[in-house]
Structure 1
Amino acid sequence: MTFTLRWGIIATGGISTKFAEDLLVDPSTRGSDVAHKIAAVGSRSVASAQKFIDRLRSDPSPNQWGEDGWNAWGLGNGVLDGAKAYGSYDEVFADPNVDAVYIGTPHTFHHANAKAALLAGKNVLCEKPFTFDLEELDELIAIAKEKKLFLMEAVWTRFHPIAYALQDLLKSGRLGKIKRMSADFSMNYQPDTRPDSNRMIDPEQGGGSLLDQGPYPSVWAMLALHQLPSNTDTDPRVVASYQRIYERSGVDAASTWVVSWKGLAEATLVTDMTASGYDDACVVITCEDADVAIAYPPWRPERLTIVPHSKYEPGNIREREVKEYPTAKAGAGMHYEADEVARCIRDGKTQSERMPLAESRITQRWLDDVRKAGGTVLKTA
């Protein structure tokens, strides 16, 4: 019998919309052994929450990804049956029909929202960055541990087919030892055209490139280096960093930091909200016998290229290989992480082996260290 996880969705913005849409996609399109149900939605008003639910129930016209009939399976299989609209988050946390809560609020609210959900006895999937700083995250971890609840950071990219394929390639030894890597999430957000209240501009909302974009270069470093079987450094640290300040508000326009895994390799990680990313390679992993390039975008790439070294350089691989690893046939790709949560809760686990809390702590520390060293304006509220 298929295990079905009952979700409470917190906030009704763009990221929550994508997540909820993916819960309506037929699990068989990605070979999943679990299913999902949306039991409750919480917003600032009942009307806003109901509008969100009604949008999910609308006729199966194309969704934001251009897919026709994206909600047909979910509507036909009861994913939204009985879904309740609440005008507060606390009502979602108190709903006995909710097994797990998805936190899709702005990241400066993640700690408070996740804490309230955990204290109410709910399992939690929280959007990235997990919290504003490591101290907040450690409090959430302590509560989840005390209450024996599941807690995970929503790093959806970890669960995409290309992430597993990259790790299999690196672990195979075919490319030889990893020498270094870089990962870059640059996006020309055109900050000068945005109002002071924009979430990327406003320090009160944790604005700047680092907190918003930083989890993505971080995840590729964790997948390629930290989870490599030969890695013995369990606490890799930032050894150098630089932030370019966006003078208008004091947040970072761009951040660069270098992380070292002792005895293994270094990763240079970049975020930038003022320049476009390089389409052919947002991640480059330099190995002894060839390089690996992952195509843009870093949050949902689908193309991996093995690139031979120059003819002047040593290396045993001389033919370029392009490999495609598309996400599921339907949806944005957020259903993979939802499936992971469902399996873990079904199996009585309080954290994911693929996305463990210890690794969230590592990347949270990086963001803390870069921000504190860079002189950016911090949240004061």
Structure 2
Amino acid sequence: MAPYNLHWGIIATGSISSEFSRDLLVDPSTRGVTDISHSIAAVGSRSVQSAERFIEGLKAAAPSDGWTWGVQKGKLDGVKACGSYHDVYNDPNVDVVYVGTPPSAHHRNVKDALLAGKHVLCEKPFTFDLEELDELLAIAKDKKLFLMEAVWTRFHPLAAEVAALLESGKLGKPQRFSADFSMDWKPDSEPASHRMLNPALGGGSLLDMGPYPSVWAMLLVQRNPHNHDQDPQVVFSHQTVYERTQVDLNSRWLVQWKDLCQGLLLSDLSASGQREATAVLQCEEGDLVIHYPPYKAETFSIIPRPDRFAGAIKEKTTHHHPIAQGNNGLSYEADEVARCLRQGKVESEKMPWAESRIVQGWFDVVRTQGSTPLATIKGTAGQ
């Protein structure tokens, strides 16, 4: 049987859209996939010329580039360069739209695509606030359209191995959790207009970087077999304000899972983060440590507790589960979209709407309790 081929429309032509499009064109067999393939049917930008440059950049793949396979196999044949996003939404050759615009535009872009009858994969953070997200979920449900937040980390090889480890019960009940995504970004060296520093674009560490400590909270605690709390709440939060533009330089928040444990989550633009402890789940029998980087982790360790409090884990072991060679890691989530659409699903069991709502709710609490301009900005729900 021929692989199920999904035809994508790409919205925006920035770096993340480029990486995603390249990964669509990588030979699926290199990651052990034989039932799925991907093609790009249309690219939307603010001008036809910009879309054409984006497409030409894909076609100019060198022989050593991982996405050369797709170019040679005709996965760009007939791709249309569009000078508006609506031209992509209305293209009958497009099955699903990938939204790679800045976060402040996600709600508008996704809403327009859904109203045009297209399935959507939207980059994280899903929306600016929970009200925007709930409006999009209602539209998708009403129109029976697939919608998913593009949390690529959930679909990587390591995520599956960690899930199996937790299901085995080897580590026992969680006792506490921490996760961190920090970058020594040196914001003083960037213009105030940069998207990471501009409040009007949702700048600061929380919305851009916060999804990564949150994904490990979801994978290690929320989905843990011992957890029965489907509505974990933020107990307290703190933001340090970057004085030049008033966005958050760092954010941290403590989440409580009833009758289980607490978790401290951190995003930061002023420090590098820890190499071997980007996320830590401490359990009754031993600790699970995810190695940096949190967005594309390939290594984890299982570590014994201190001798004074020893558990069943007696020796440290380290486990490596790399992304397939020639692949940046974004194709795994694209494969999930294709399989869901092939099965007629409107949401993914691996990245369900309910878990996107939990994380979006955390961000709303941290943002509105802080003192940045984002605390009082309203989203575009209803517009």
TM-score, normalised by the number of residues in structure 2: 0.96
Equivalent pair of 1:57/1:71 in contact (CA under 8 Å): no
1:318-337 superposed matches below 5 A: 318-337=314-333
Match of 1:56 in 2: 58
Match of 1:299 in 2: 295
Match of 2:4 in 1: 3
Answering whether residue 170 of structure 2 is matched by residue 171 of structure 1, we say no
Cα deviation per residue 1:244-265 (whole Å; 9 max; x = unaligned)?
A: 1111111100001011111111
Match of 2:362 in 1: 366
Residues 356 and 302 (structure 1), Cα distance of their counterparts in 2 relative to 1, 3 Å cut: same
Between 1:324-333 and 1:205-214, the stretch displaced more is 324-333
- Moved runs in structure 1, 4+ residues, more than 3 A? none
Give the CA RMSD over aligned residues. Answer: 1.1
1:60-71 superposed matches below 5 A: 60=62, 68-71=64-67
AA partner of residue 291 (structure 1): D
Question: Structure 1 CA distance, aligned partners of 2:286 and 2:246?
Answer: 41
Match of 1:37 in 2: 39
AA partner of residue 185 (structure 2): Y
Equivalent pair of 2:25/2:70 in contact (CA under 8 Å): yes
Equivalent pair of 1:203/1:250 in contact (CA under 8 Å): yes
Question: Structure 1 CA distance, aligned partners of 2:323 and 2:218?
Answer: 20
Question: Structure 1 CA distance, aligned partners of 2:45 and 2:362?
Answer: 32
SS of match in other structure, 2:255 = strand
1:76-225 superposed matches below 5 A: 76-225=72-221
Question: Structure 2 CA distance, aligned partners of 1:253 and 1:93?
Answer: 36
Equivalent pair of 1:204/1:380 in contact (CA under 8 Å): no
Question: Structure 2 CA distance, aligned partners of 1:203 and 1:380?
Answer: 12
Which runs of 5 or more structure 2 residues have no equivalent in the other structure? Answer: none
AA partner of residue 23 (structure 2): D
Answering whether residue 48 of structure 2 is matched by residue 46 of structure 1, we say yes
Question: Structure 2 CA distance, aligned partners of 1:380 and 1:158?
Answer: 29
AA partner of residue 101 (structure 2): T
AA partner of residue 334 (structure 1): L
CA drift of 1:380 comes to 7.1
TM-score, normalised by the number of residues in structure 1: 0.97
Question: Structure 2 CA distance, aligned partners of 1:167 and 1:71?
Answer: 30
Question: Structure 2 CA distance, aligned partners of 1:377 and 1:204?
Answer: 9
Question: Structure 2 CA distance, aligned partners of 1:77 and 1:13?
Answer: 24
Equivalent pair of 2:3/2:37 in contact (CA under 8 Å): yes
Residues 365 and 59 (structure 1), Cα distance of their counterparts in 2 relative to 1, 3 Å cut: closer
CA drift of 1:153 comes to 0.2
Match of 1:64 in 2: none
Match of 1:377 in 2: 373
SS of match in other structure, 2:354 = helix
Cα deviation per residue 1:170-196 (whole Å; 9 max; x = unaligned)?
A: 221111111111000010111111101
Cα deviation per residue 1:337-356 (whole Å; 9 max; x = unaligned)?
A: 00000000111000000000
Match of 1:282 in 2: 278
Task: Select 1:350's aligned residue among 331, 346, 350.
Answer: 346
Match of 1:22 in 2: 23
SS of match in other structure, 1:75 = helix
